[in-house]
């Protein structure tokens, strides 16, 4: 084993594994918090367990898992009771009650940490906030023959083993209760009606969130726990609408966040010429996770800012094309020899910058023709316009006859409904045998 590889395995690999496993554990559970619209609950739990962790540490005198876990559980229970008391007795809104409760518990935890530090106990606020990834080290044999032995694996840092166990437990829970989690997440009322206990699944989920928080606290700190509970699931949610795909994708994003964040913190400064400088690993992972979320917010093919802007632009242009065709058709009804100038079009339909591109599309598609700056429908354009006007007048008829609206109050609503499409064709309400709309205008027949 070369010295460089030995150094990486001893100093970098354990810390990177601990951060990545912590990110995966939090991301797996964070999917359900995001889908249940309970993202703040993850923040509340990660803050609320702090005094319990400190008390467990002070009582046990060490970082043993069970005393800390029991202390965190007791702290979480106190927080839940406090939230319920504020909601029922003080009539405080649920989000405000959570915010007040976890702020009090977190402040209490920080106070206990400071008191412990004053007594020279190995616990401080910086450790709780940023974790101790840089101190997760491993010194296995440097000979490959001795490396792959059980004795070597027994010396793997405790934080890595605990977080690996948390990932396995959470993965097994999701695999065993995949169907129950899905139905209680998306339709809790239906789940209760068919015999699944939404409350029980919620309690199990929050218990695992608290367990994952405790498992990750020592290694990665509260900042990374909060970030990984939300950012990978939120990023995955922007990239897919499938339940199972989101879970797998959030795990992959958490892995990229853990590995990429660690390398960015440990090696990026030296690559930029800042020798002897390293960034906090947990903070770097959080930054990478947030950057991935920003990329998804902007570039997601379905829910991204750019995709939504393009859809709105296409829709606005389609509506402008419909309105141009409808306007020309109505002018033909009144005056077959009408003269509509191109310069008058923007003021007539009111679509601003999209009017000219819409008109160019109609002209290039041979639905409208120009003649000395005058606009006329072609045969194909007239057929399209007829379907649009037919849909509009049928909607006006339906709104008057079925909803009882006044005839002079239905034009704007029908103008929105006429742009609805199914298989590329305007949607029409059922109005059998109707030949005239409420304004006594003829309803074009369907060809």
Measured distance CA(192)–CA(174) in Å, rounded: 19
Position 447 scores a pLDDT of 66
Q: What angle do CA 277, 279, 283 make, to 5 degrees?
A: 175
Using pLDDT thresholds of 50, 70 and 90, give the confidence band for residue 307. very high
Whether residue 310 is contained in a domain is answered as: no
Domain hosting 345: range is 320-377
Using pLDDT thresholds of 50, 70 and 90, give the confidence band for residue 124. low
Measured distance CA(368)–CA(20) in Å, rounded: 60
Measured distance CA(98)–CA(45) in Å, rounded: 9
**Do 114 and 218 lie in a common domain?**
yes
Q: Is 368:359 a contact under the CB 8 Å cutoff?
A: yes
Residue 277 has, within 13 A of its CA and on its CB side, a CA count of 9
Residue 423 predicted with pLDDT over 80: no
Provide the domain count of the chain: 3
Position 65 scores a pLDDT of 63
Position 115 scores a pLDDT of 72
Using pLDDT thresholds of 50, 70 and 90, give the confidence band for residue 174. very high
Whether residue 111 is contained in a domain is answered as: yes
Position 295 scores a pLDDT of 95
Whether residue 312 is contained in a domain is answered as: no
Residue 297 has, within 13 A of its CA and on its CB side, a CA count of 9
Cβ contacts of 161 within 8 Å, gap of 6 or more: none
Quote the tokens at residue 447.
């060809």
- More confident of the two residues 134 and 359: 359
**Do 68 and 48 lie in a common domain?**
yes
State percent of the chain over pLDDT 70: 92
**Do 247 and 373 lie in a common domain?**
no
Task: Write the DSSP assignment of 27-54 as a string of letters.
Answer: HHHHHHHHHTT-HHHHHHHHHHTHHHHH
Measured distance CA(159)–CA(127) in Å, rounded: 14
In sequence order, the β-bridge partners of residue 425 are 422
Measured distance CA(88)–CA(433) in Å, rounded: 59
Q: Is 285:258 a contact under the CB 8 Å cutoff?
A: yes
Whether residue 250 is contained in a domain is answered as: yes
Q: Which of 204, 263, 254 is nearest to 229 (CA)?
A: 254
What average pLDDT does the chain have?
83
Position 29 scores a pLDDT of 92
Q: Is 232:250 a contact under the CB 8 Å cutoff?
A: yes
**Do 395 and 372 lie in a common domain?**
no
Measured distance CA(206)–CA(80) in Å, rounded: 11
Q: What are phi and psi for residue 121, nearest 5 degrees?
A: -90, 145
Q: Which of 46-55, 95-104, 214-223, 319-328 has the highest mean pLDDT?
A: 319-328
Q: What angle do CA 51, 22, 20 make, to 5 degrees?
A: 150
**Do 365 and 432 lie in a common domain?**
no
Measured distance CA(162)–CA(175) in Å, rounded: 20
Domain of 193, CATH number, reads 1.10.3470.10
Measured distance CA(148)–CA(352) in Å, rounded: 70
Whether residue 93 is contained in a domain is answered as: yes
Whether residue 74 is contained in a domain is answered as: yes
**Do 238 and 361 lie in a common domain?**
no
Whether residue 348 is contained in a domain is answered as: yes
Measured distance CA(133)–CA(157) in Å, rounded: 11
**Do 180 and 56 lie in a common domain?**
yes
Quote the tokens at residue 94.
């649920």
Position 21 scores a pLDDT of 92
Measured distance CA(368)–CA(223) in Å, rounded: 60
Residue 127 predicted with pLDDT over 70: no
**Do 230 and 372 lie in a common domain?**
no
**Do 405 and 360 lie in a common domain?**
no
Q: 46, exposed or middle or buried, with CB in 10 Å at 0-12, 13-18, 19+?
A: buried
**Do 18 and 64 lie in a common domain?**
yes
Q: Which of 234, 255, 276 is the last residue of a domain?
A: 255
Q: Which of 212, 233, 255 is the last residue of a domain?
A: 255
Residue 252 predicted with pLDDT over 90: yes
Using pLDDT thresholds of 50, 70 and 90, give the confidence band for residue 141. confident
Q: Which of 235, 255, 275 is the last residue of a domain?
A: 255
**In this predicted model, what pLDDT tens digit does every residue of 347-379 receive, in sequence order?**
777 766 788 888 889 889 999 888 777 888 889
Position 304 scores a pLDDT of 92
The single-letter DSSP state of residue 8 is I
Residue 293 predicted with pLDDT over 90: yes
Measured distance CA(100)–CA(113) in Å, rounded: 20
Q: What are phi and psi for residue 401, nearest 5 degrees?
A: -80, -35
- Which helix (H) or strand (E) is 340 found in, with range? strand 340-341
The stretch 336-357 carries a mean pLDDT of 74
Residue 107 predicted with pLDDT over 90: no
Q: What are phi and psi for residue 336, nearest 5 degrees?
A: -60, -25
Q: Which of 119-133, 318-332, 432-446 has the highest mean pLDDT?
A: 318-332
Position 255 scores a pLDDT of 95
Across the chain, how many H-helices and E-strands are there? 20, 5
Position 125 scores a pLDDT of 59
Q: Where are the alpha helices (DSSP H) in 187-335?
A: 188-193, 198-239, 243-271, 281-299, 305-334
The stretch 172-197 carries a mean pLDDT of 87
State percent of the chain over pLDDT 90: 21
Collapsing DSSP to helix, strand or coil, 421 comes out as: strand
Measured distance CA(58)–CA(447) in Å, rounded: 83
The stretch 75-99 carries a mean pLDDT of 80
Whether residue 282 is contained in a domain is answered as: no
**Positive or negative CA dihedral for 260, 261, 262, 268?**
positive
Measured distance CA(213)–CA(230) in Å, rounded: 13
**Do 251 and 333 lie in a common domain?**
no
Using pLDDT thresholds of 50, 70 and 90, give the confidence band for residue 150. confident
Q: Is 218:226 a contact under the CB 8 Å cutoff?
A: no
Domain of 333, CATH number, reads 1.10.10
Position 432 scores a pLDDT of 67
Residues across the chain: 447
**Do 406 and 370 lie in a common domain?**
no
Domain of 437, CATH number, reads 1.10.60.10
């Amino acid at each position: 084993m070369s010295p460089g590889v030995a150094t990486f395995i001893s100093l970098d690999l354990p810390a990177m594994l601990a951060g990545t496993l912590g990110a995966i554990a939090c991301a797996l559970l964070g999917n359900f918090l995001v889908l249940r619209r309970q993202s703040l609950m993850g923040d509340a739990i990660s803050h609320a367990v702090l005094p319990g962790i400190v008390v467990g540490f002070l009582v046990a005198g060490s970082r043993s898992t069970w005393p800390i876990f029991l202390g965190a559980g007791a702290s979480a229970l106190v927080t839940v009771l406090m939230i319920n008391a504020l909601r029922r007795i003080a009539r405080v809104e649920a989000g405000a009650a959570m915010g007040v409760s976890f702020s009090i518990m977190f402040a209490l935890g920080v106070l206990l940490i400071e008191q412990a530090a004053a007594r020279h106990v190995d616990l401080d606020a910086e450790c709780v906030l940023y974790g101790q990834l840089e101190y997760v080290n491993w010194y296995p044999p440097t000979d490959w023959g001795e490396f792959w032995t059980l004795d070597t694996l027994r010396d793997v840092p405790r934080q890595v083993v605990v977080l690996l166990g948390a990932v396995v437990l959470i993965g097994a829970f999701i695999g065993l209760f995949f169907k129950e989690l899905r139905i209680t997440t998306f339709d809790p009322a239906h789940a209760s009606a068919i015999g699944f206990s939404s409350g029980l699944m919620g309690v199990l989920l929050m218990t695992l969130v608290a367990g994952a928080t405790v498992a990750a606290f020592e290694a990665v700190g509260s900042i990374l726990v909060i970030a990984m509970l939300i950012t990978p699931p939120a990023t995955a949610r922007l990239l897919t609408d499938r339940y199972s795909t989101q879970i797998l994708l959030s795990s992959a994003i958490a892995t990229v966040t853990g590995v990429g964040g660690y390398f960015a913190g440990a090696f990026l400064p030296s690559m930029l010429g800042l020798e002897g400088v390293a960034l906090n690993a947990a903070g770097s992972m959080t930054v990478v996770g947030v950057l991935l979320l920003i990329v998804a917010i902007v570039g997601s093919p379905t829910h991204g800012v750019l995709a939504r802007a393009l859809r709105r632009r296409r829709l606005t242009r389609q509506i402008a094309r419909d309105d141009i065709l409808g306007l020309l058709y109505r002018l033909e009804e009144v005056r077959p020899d009408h003269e509509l100038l191109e310069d008058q079009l923007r003021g007539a339909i009111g679509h601003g910058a999209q009017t000219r591109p819409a008109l160019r599309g109609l002209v290039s598609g041979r639905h409208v023709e120009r003649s000395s700056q005058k606009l006329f429908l072609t045969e194909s354009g007239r057929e399209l316009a007829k379907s649009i006007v037919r849909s509009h007048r049928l909607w006006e008829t339906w709104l008057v006859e079925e909803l009882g609206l006044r005839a002079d109050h239905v034009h704007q609503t029908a103008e929105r409904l006429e742009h609805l499409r199914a298989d590329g064709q305007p949607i029409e309400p059922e109005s059998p045998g109707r030949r005239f709309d409420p304004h006594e205008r003829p309803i074009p027949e369907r060809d």
